[in-house]
Amino acid sequence: MNIEIEQQNNYQVVKLYGEVDLSNSRSIKLDIIKLIKSKNNVIVDFTHLQYIDSSGMASLVEAFNEAKENHTEFHIVGANGSPLQVLQLTRLNTVFNLADSVGAVTHNG
Amino acid sequence: MVKPIITVEHLFAQYGDTQVLKDVNLEVNPGEILVVMGGSGSGKSTLLNHMLGLKTPVSGTIMIDGVNIFTAKSKQLRHLRQKMGVAFQGGALLSSLTVADNVRLPLEQNTSLDTQTIDIMVRMKLELMNMAGTGHMMPSELSGGMLKRAGLARAVIMDPKLLFFDEPSAGLDPTTAVELDELILTLRDAMNMTIVVVTHELESVFKIADRVVVLFNGEVVANGTVDEIKNSPDERIQNMINRQPNTYRDDGEVYFNRLLDKDNI
């Protein structure tokens, strides 16, 4: 698992690579929540994410809730393959703001 | 070529003098739903118990994810068990805990996730099982179908790579049984789980199985796709499919030994 964070326009883009599971979901959550508490709008980029388990999804629900409380934006982009299926299985595709790409959010933002 | 996630080789098991598994060989491939089918006393539950490492065989090996479960060190086994989920026939919930506390138990015992994360995971799994809002209930308040679904929620709470399910639809009304079959297919498709189901329910077998292993008197008498099983010329299998009483009998000596076997009660 690898995580890269970079600024694009008014957003902090969190790029996830590899697999999010029980072993790393907590530290990813803490990284994202730290950005949100600093009043950043966050885009979590799933483009290169191969797998995410339900601890990862639950962590993103917590981050999304944090964003709501801080009145910041929280988006998930580029979901495909297994992570997209998990989003659909858990019906979190109806909860999160999903977009195809980082550009689709930053150009509208 | 795909490497099997489970390999059972030359497995022999017996209770007392009675052989209950006789040279069982099978493989389960990743992402596959394998159904072990057989009537009462066919040895299917014994096979499941051996796959779970709950019983030690007379001889033979079972490799799961590269680990020989009969010779593995306890640390290796613990690590392996975290990748395995088991849904027992009656749900096997702890009667003194609420549904939610039962479901969260594996996470509490095996992870250091925050309580809030665990709470969300439990709710997500209960939603998936169509049991939203039942977390506060005690197992004694649940119907048979709900007990099974709660047991399944606990079995998949850690997103196991491998799920074992004992008699998913036994004792359920037809609608609930169909729902549970759908759920098994969804878990395989969306979470890429490998699933081993032990059952005697034919509708379920034909709906969910990628491959079927038929056990009869402790022996594998068929191993193939649903179509291959349906078209098997084996009289024992056709009797099972057509729900005919099985007229096949052991030879006299096996029967005689069983009548005198002190453990066969």
- ipTM for the predicted complex comes to 0.92
Q: Is the residue at B184 inside a domain?
A: yes
Is pLDDT of A61 > 90?
A: yes
Q: In this complex, which of B117, B121, B191 lies closest to A86 when CB atoms are compared? A: B191
Q: Answer yes or no: are the C-beta atoms of B14 and B23 closer than 8 Å.
A: no
CATH of the domain at B50: 3.40.50.300
DSSP A74: E
Q: Quick one: pLDDT at residue B264?
A: 60
**CA–CA dist B38, B42 (Å, integer):** 5
Q: What is the pLDDT of residues A84-102, one digit of tens each?
A: 988 988 889 999 989 999 9
The answer to whether B120 contacts chain A (CB < 8 Å) is: yes
Q: Name every residue in A having a CB less than 8 A away from some CB of B.
A: 21-22, 25-26, 29, 53-55, 57-59, 61-62, 82, 85-86, 88-91
- Range A36-58 average pLDDT: 95
Residue B29 sits in the same domain as residue B100: no
> Which chain A residues contact residue B128 at CB under 8 A?
89-90
Which of B117, B137, B159 is at the close of a domain? B159
Range of the structural domain that residue B187 is part of: 1-83+162-248
Instruction: Determine whether the interchain pair B190/A89 forms a contact, defined as Cβ–Cβ distance below 8 Å.
Output: yes
> Is there a contact between B114 and A26 if contact means CB atoms under 8 Å apart?
yes
Residue A75: its pLDDT value, please?
97
| Three-class SS state of B9 | strand
Q: Looking at chain A, which residue has its C-alpha nearest residue B192?
A: A82
SS3 B177: helix
Residue A37: band (very low, low, confident or very high) from pLDDT cuts 50, 70, 90:
very high
pLDDT of residue B171: 75
Please give the structure tokens belonging to residue B54: 């709950």
Tell me what pLDDT residue B30 has.
94
Does residue B166 share a domain with residue B78? Answer: yes
Residue A69 confidence (pLDDT) = 95
Strand pairing report for B219-224 and B211-216:
antiparallel
Which parts of chain B register pLDDT below 70?
91, 244-252, 254, 258, 261-265
Residue B142 inside a domain? The answer is yes
- The pLDDT score that the predictor gives to residue B22 is 93
Residue B27 lies inside a defined structural domain of this protein: yes
**Percent of chain B that is helix, strand, coil (3-state, to 5):** 40, 25, 40
Nearest CB to A62; choose among B111, B120, B189: B120
Same domain, B176 and B152: no
Q: At which residue do the structure tokens 């329910």 appear?
A: B201
* Pairs across A and B, CB distance < 8 A: 49
| B261 in a structural domain | no
Contact B127 A90 (CB under 8 A): yes
H or E element that contains B227: helix B226-230
The reported pLDDT for the residue numbered B144 is 84
Contact list, B83 vs chain A (CB under 8 Å): none
Q: Is the pLDDT of residue A40 over 70?
A: yes
Which carries the bigger pLDDT value, residue A86 or residue A15? A15
Of residues B136, B148, B146, the one with CA closest to residue B100: B136
pTM for this model (two decimals) = 0.84
Number of domains in chain B: 2
Name, in order, each residue with C-beta under 8 angstroms of B70's C-beta and a sequence gap of 6 or more: B53, B56, B57, B61, B62
Query: Between vectors from CA B112 to CA B111 and to CA B118, what angle results, nearest 5°?
Result: 80
Q: Is the CATH code 3.30.750.24 the one for domain A2-108?
A: yes
Q: What is the pLDDT of residue B244?
A: 57
Q: Alpha-carbon distance B20 to B108, whole Å?
A: 37
pLDDT for A102: 94
CA dist A88 → A57, A85, A96, B32, B73 (Å): 11, 5, 11, 21, 38
- Cβ-defined contact of B128 to A89 (cutoff 8 Å): yes
